[in-house]
Structures are given as structure tokens and as C-alpha cells.
Structure 1
Amino acid sequence: MHIFKRKAFWLTAIFCCLYLFSSAQYFAVDSNRKNVSIPFRIVRNMVVIKMQINNKGPFNFVLDTGVGLMIMTDPTMVDSINLTQKRVIKITGLGEDGDYEAYVTPPLKLEIPGLYSLGISSAILKKDYFNLSSYVGMPIHGLIGWDFFNSLAVKINFSDSTMTVCRPNDLTGTKKSQKIPITIEDKKPYLETMIVFPDGRRAKNKLVIDLGAGHPLSLENLQKTNGLPKAYIRASLGVALNGPISGFISRVSVIELGKYKVKNVITSFPDIASEVRSYTVARDGNLGIGILKKFNVIFDYSNNALYLKPNQTFSDPFEHDMSGIEYYSAGENLDHLVVSRVEPNSPADEIGLQRNDEIVSINFKPVSKMSVEEVDNLLKSRTDRSILLEIYHDKRYDRVILTLRRRI
């Protein structure tokens, strides 16, 4: 999991409302082509693609197998795509602040070069509950999952940030990959896998394959069944519509994916209180992009298959944030870095960093000249590494030395 925990999306109530539209909602390859190559960006462990909507855009969408149907998280999309026909739905039971509202659209015209859409509708949140643009440091307009994957075979090459999609019957190049059987339930992919814990205990777990989850692995019911591993730290795991998700970060020894064994995996364990959610499909947790990006991956929903082939990062160790800082991007151009939370007893806490401090530069380099990924990677780079931060606090600038420390 990267430095500032991946935002969690518990959006089942929204997606249920979209079932009112036709179930024939999918992307198709242009008739004169066998496959289509689509570039993507990895931004804070999110796969971001560009898409035209109703002849407007392009807009940035997160490709997320963990969501059932399309959602626009940016409320300004109502005006951006000239949406005239819409109706309002209420989302209940997701938080202490009462009902939330979203627009439900009629079928939209969605276009990615080489692909076109049929019958795909969306929900547009009336308020940006997740602030994805601030989290990622670039404009993000929404998420798309089932509608993209359900009728295509999708090859994701994390080595060169290129995705190749085709009709399932035209899929080739799978012989050197490990085929993993999956099930498609409630418009999401699931697999069963064996996990080995630090005490040697082995347990079979059913996981949703969640390309939109930035962490490597999350196990959601372990505390009430077998307890936590001995070594762990308390952490903020993200935010949902009903508020922050707290829990713990630890490691499991091995997760088995076919013939591949991924070792010493950083794992999230939500608090028992945070786990009280109703899922239509019983599950033990989710497998996130932190593990998936160690492979080049093929999703083939129509044939209930996931193909994995290790890439050059397969043996790289998993590292967690070593600073204790959570931050977001701010300002008109999202080029300011503001502290949103400091983990108690972390290196950042020990040198007095506080919420709402602005990080102006790191090792004399202005953060406006750095990508969010650069900052993330630097702050989990090496234990005992000293970093010079320039901080704007209480209307003055200060320089402090932050010494990183591996905490898990």
C-alpha cells in the first residue's frame, strides 16, 4: 500500500440503482479491428485511462474491477457532458450524515479510440465525496469497471503502461502465462487463494480482484476469526461514504497465485467496527494493484479466467510509508502539497509536523516540480534515510530533517 492509504469505494447502493437500465451495457471493438492498444498511466497505484463522453473530453477515468458499474465522482461532469436528461436518486444507509444524492444518466456515448459503447449509463455524485483529484494530483472524473471488462479480453502490460483489448475469441499470447480460474459475481471478479501467515498457519481465502485498490492485499474478517499477526501498526486505511476506515497494517508470509508465491506481503486489516458492511457476495478481502502490478495481467471475464505472467518487478520487496505523513494536492493546478494527517509516534510526528502544514520543497526541490509518485516513492525509499523538508506553518517557512523509519 502506498504512503497515503488508498481510498476505499463502498458504492453498492449506487450501482444497484443502475440495474434499472438495460443489462446490455458494454464496450465493443470497432468492426474493422481485431485488437486495440490503449495507453494508460499509473498514478498513486491507480490505472488511469482517457475517454470521450457525449463527444466531450477527453476525461480521466480510473479503471477499477472492484466497481460494478460506471460512476462519475466529479459533480461538474453534469455540465461538462451537457447532460440534460437526468434523475436524482438518494443513497441511504451509508453514513451518519443522512442521505446522499446522485444523478442517474440515460445511456451515454463513450468512446476510446478503437472502441465504442452500447447502453452504458452512469451515476454522477452530486458531491465529490472522495476528492480523487486532490489525492492523485491530477483531474480524475470517475471510475469504470464491469462495463469495460464484461465483453472484452483485457491485457494490462504494467511494464510499458499499455493495455491491449480484443474480443475474447481473438485472445492470443496466453501460453506462457499462468491461468487462474475466477468467478464473476455481482459484476466483479473473484478468486480463491491460499494465504500463509507468519505463524505458519495456512488459510484459503476468497478475494475480489480489485484493480482500483492501491494496497497489495486486504483481509476483512481475520480479526474476529484468528486475530492479527504479532507485528503490526495501527493505520488509517482510507475513507468511505460513511467516514474514515481505520485498522492495522501488517504482513502475511505468502499468497499463492497458481504456481507463483508472492512473499512478505504488506496487508491491511480493517477494524472490526469498520467491517460492518453488507456485501451481496461473501468474501474474505481483496487483492489490489500492489500485487497485480508485479505481473502482466489478462482479464477474460467471459471465460472466467485471469492470466498472470511475472514482470521485472516481481521480486521487488513490498514497502510501506516510512514517514507517517498523509497528504493531498491542493491549489488551482494541484501543485501544492498539504498534510492531511500525521500518524502518531511516526517520524513525522516526532519532528512536530501537523495537519494543514504545507510541504513546499523536498531536498531543495519544489514539490510543484515533483509528481505525486516521486514523493510517494521517496518517503518509502529506505529506512534511516534523512530528508530535508521545507514546511510552511503558521505563516512562516521552516526547514526540518525527517529521518525515515521502516515501521512494519
Structure 2
Amino acid sequence: MKKLFKPLFIFWAGFLCLVPVANAQVLGLELLDKKDEVKIDFKYAQGFILVDVKFNNSLPLTFILDTGAEHVILFNKTITDILGIQYEKRISLVGSDLEKEVFAFIARNITLTLEECKTVKRDIIVLEEDFLHLEEITGEAIHGIVGSRFFRGLVMEINYRKKKLKLINSEKFDSTKQKNYTKIPIEITGHKPYINCSLLNDKNEKIDVNLLIDTGSALPFLLFMESHPSLVLPKTFIKGNLGKGLGGDLEGYLSKLKELSITDEFKFTNIVTSFQPVPENFSEEVYRNRNGLIGNPILSRFDVTIDFVRNNLYLKPNKKYNRKFEYDKSGLTIYAFGANLDNFFVKDILENSPASEAGIQKGDMIKKVGFWPAHFYTLGAITRKFQKNEGKKIKMVLERNGHRYKTHIILRDMLNSKP
């Protein structure tokens, strides 16, 4: 039976191969409306940076801020259909699983407004079908992504602690004011930022890697296994579902990497790492310039500044820098549903996990976690409960075929121990 693993965080790779949108050469500078800078509030939920966007001068929507994608992408075509928006042409995309072909439409000159920013017109990609259903797997209403091309020509500051995004006119940006920041050179390819790092594998081999700086990923760290001959799986790993991306579930492996070095100063040891296989028949051209990505669970340990003009990254550790990386120790994959996304069910279970040993089955409805009814929680709050320390006992009430039953889960670190 195929093993499934609850994603550490839901994953949007932002990895798209598509026809570039023509005539979309407007610089991000116009967002500032002649100001030196603007500040935008965001919500940080389930490892995603979520920003409010007024769509077509009418609809308030929520988009993921995604430096790992180039374009603005709308997930739900029903929105543009209702608004009577016309499409120029149908295009094909390669999803983040690197295999499945999906389809989308180009819509031209759509008005978009971010908080405190001038309303601008952009060409966008509209998915023919919403393959993601991110509301189920994040417990948040999410309608699309805003890619890095939207902010072209600007300097972007991300303060995860204050949940503030600052967009700065590059001509007004003074790098000397970046006190206590470490300046790191980066590459900008396809409007997306890449950084050269190094890692240590199980054999203590140092491997130089090129990684996407991906604010659209809620995974801490992901590697393409076939992108370097020394990127091999550690001895202890879990096979299963890494999360969701365009095109569906991302299959791969979860393990711990000995060390990731962003610089000599910033190193992470025993870091939870996702390993994604690349299909044998997939063109090397697509991933030859990168070996993987760094996502928000790592980036959020810093105050981050990305200078898209001068190709520099500035990092300053914050109070979260030394916190351990949390991940699921139950074996459950839980989805939210309902009008308020406060009902929950078991989507998948990892074999030989604490959840399977507790008798929980796929499709069971979660009615109570600990002392409180499940609807008192958000999906994120329930997820965090199952990331607690190994050995913690969590009581649950579930429902199967109309009948309720009680059980409990004893959390276990499945990357370090055996049942």
C-alpha cells in the first residue's frame, strides 16, 4: 500500500513553464504612486504570506506573495467568468509535480490593488480548473498568487514578526541603513531570486547548490534529487505526499539533512528536508539552474530584504532564528471544510504511524481534540498540536459512519525512531 505523509506545510512550488505574457512590461515602480515606499500588512498562515488584493476594482480576494513564481495567477476561473472577463488564449502549463500538464487562460489588463498601493493593470493567468483547493489544506480562503514580476524594479522588505511588507523605490533604497544585516549576492532569473548555498550530506560531502528563494513555499527546504549526483536520500526517510502544487499532489520523500549553509554565518543542522524526484523523461533545461528551494519556515527566521535591481539579499536573524523546526508526529493529514472552514476530516494516514496505531482511518470526521470541540480550532491550531514533543498524548473524539468513538495518539518522531 502506498505510504502517505502529512505535509509539514502545504506546498506551492510556483514552478511553472508557460508562454510569457506579452506586453506586460510595466515596472513595479508604479505601485508606489511616486512615493518612496509603501507598507502593506499581511497575514502569515500555515507557512504562507497572504495579502489582500482588490480584483477588477470590485472583489476583495486573498493572494499568496510568491517570489518563486513569475506571474499573477488566479486559481478559480468562476471569478473571471462571473465578471465577464474575456480570455485571449488557452495555454498549457507544467505543474510542480514536473509531469502533469494542466491548462489555463491569459486575461489582459486586469486591475489589481494592493493595500496602500496604486491600482495597476496586469496580465494574469487563470487556471482552467482549480487543482489546489488550498482552502481545504490551509483552512484559509486563498484565491491566487502574486508572482515576483509584479514587484519588478523594487526593493522588498519582509518583516515576518510584524507581518509587514515594505516596497521601496530602488533609487531611494539606502543599503547602509541595513544595520546588522548580512548582504548576500543573488541571481535574478525570470524575475525570481536564486541564492548559492552549500550543504552536507550523510557522507559529510559538501555540495554546492543553487536554491530558489521562495516565499510561495510553506516547506522549509526542498531538493530535486536528480539535479546533483550527490543529492541522495539519507538512510532514514518517509515516503509519501510532500504537499500540493499546480497539477496535484507532490510525491517524494521527507528526511533530515545534516547541514544547510546559507553563508558561513547562517547554518542549520538536522534540517527537515523534502526530496522531490524529477521524472526521467523531464527536460534538464527546466531545473538545471536550480537544485531546490528555501521556503518560508527558514526565511521567517530572518528579517528579509530582496533588492531585485542590484541582485542582493539582506538577512538579519530574528527571535525565531534558533527555534527547532516543527513537523508532524502523528501521521495524519487533515483537511478543513464547511462555510467557515472549521470542520475537519482525515484525508490520509501514514502507515505504521501513531495515528494508524490509534485506529484512526481515512475519512473519519474529527469532533474533538484534547478538551475542546474541533470547531473551536483553526486548521493551523490543530496542525500545531500534532507537532508537539515526542511522547505527548493527545485525546481525540472522531466519527465514522455516523458513530463516534474515542481514541488517543502518542506522538512519535518518525524521522528518528521506529514504532
Common fold by TM > 0.5: yes
Instruction: State the SS of the aligned residue for 1:55.
Output: coil
| 2:311 match | 304
1:206 maps to amino acid: N
- Alpha-carbon distance, 1:276 to partner: 3.9
Aligned residue number for residue 385 of structure 1: 392
Aligned residues: percent identity? 25
- More displaced 10-residue stretch of structure 1: 37-46 or 103-112: 103-112
Alpha-carbon deviations, 1:150-182, whole Å to 9, x = none?
222111111111112211122243132011111
Q: How many equivalent residue pairs?
A: 405
Is the aligned partner of 1:206 residue 2:207? no
Compute the displacement of 1:112 (Å). 1.6
- Distance in 1 (CA, whole Å) between partners of 2:298 and 2:8 is 17
Listed as ranges, the gaps of 5+ residues in structure 1 are none
Matches of 2:238 and 2:74, distance apart in 1:
34
SS at match of 2:309: helix
Question: Helix, strand or coil for the counterpart of 1:78?
Answer: helix
Relative to structure 1, the CA distance from residue 7 to residue 261 in structure 2 (aligned partners, 3 Å threshold; closer, same or farther) is closer
Cα distance in 1 between the residues matched to 2:243 and 2:302? 25
Paired residues of 1:198 and 1:253 also in contact (CA < 8 A): yes
Matched residue of 2:388: which SS? coil
Return the letter of the residue paired with 1:251: K
1:236-291 deviation digits (Å, cap 9, x = unpaired): 11234444322211112222222211222110112354894661652111111111
Q: Greater CA deviation, 167-176 or 51-60?
A: 167-176
268-277 vs 396-405, which moves further = 268-277
In structure 2, do the counterparts of structure 1 residues 260 and 101 end up closer, same or farther at CA, with 3 Å as the change threshold? closer
Counterpart of 1:85 in structure 2 is 86
Paired position in structure 2 for 1:346: 353
- Listed as ranges, the matches of 1:40-189 within 5 Å are 40-79=42-81, 82-91=83-92, 100-172=102-174, 173-189=177-193
Q: Structure 2 CA distance, aligned partners of 1:101 and 1:136?
A: 24
**How much has 1:294 moved relative to structure 2?**
0.7
Counterpart pick for 2:274 among 248, 268, 273: 268
Name the residue aligned to 1:369.
Answer: 376
* Residue 90 of structure 1: how far off its partner (Å): 3.8
Inter-partner Cα distance in structure 2 for 1:64 and 1:32: 24
| 1:53-85: CA deviation from partner (whole Å, max 9, x where unpaired) | 2211321000011111110012232146x2432
Summarize the Cα distance change of 1:111–1:224 in structure 2 as closer, same or farther, 3 Å threshold.
Answer: closer
Q: Deviations over 1:79-104 (max 9, x none)?
A: 46x24322340426669998643221
Q: Which amino acid aligns with 2:158?
A: I
Matching residue of 2:329: 322
Contact 2:54 2:113 in 1 (8 A): yes
Q: Greater shift after overlay, 219-228 or 354-363?
A: 219-228
1:247 equivalent in alignment to 2:252? yes
What residue number does 1:228 align with? Answer: 233
Any idea what SS the aligned residue of 1:368 has?
helix
User: 8 Å contact 1:2–1:215 — kept in the other structure?
Assistant: no
Task: Structure 2 unaligned segments of length 5 or more: list them.
Answer: none
| C-alpha distance in structure 1 between counterparts of 2:51 and 2:15, whole Å | 21
- Deviation at 1:303? 0.9
State the superposition RMSD in angstroms: 2.5
CA contact under 8 A between 1:186 and 1:281: conserved in structure 2?
A: no
Counterpart contact for 1:358–1:391, Cα < 8 Å: yes
Query: CA offset at residue 115 of structure 1?
Result: 1.4
Deviates more, 1:374-383 or 1:236-245: 236-245
Distance in 2 of aligned mates of 1:320 and 1:93: 29
Deviating more after overlay: 141-150 vs 30-39? 30-39
Per the alignment, residue 193 of structure 1 pairs with 197
User: In the alignment, is the contact (CA less than 8 A) between 2:29 and 2:169 conserved in 1?
Assistant: no
Q: Is the 8 A contact 2:138 2:379 kept in 1?
A: yes
The answer on whether the counterparts of 1:59 and 1:140 sit within 8 Å (CA) in structure 2 is yes
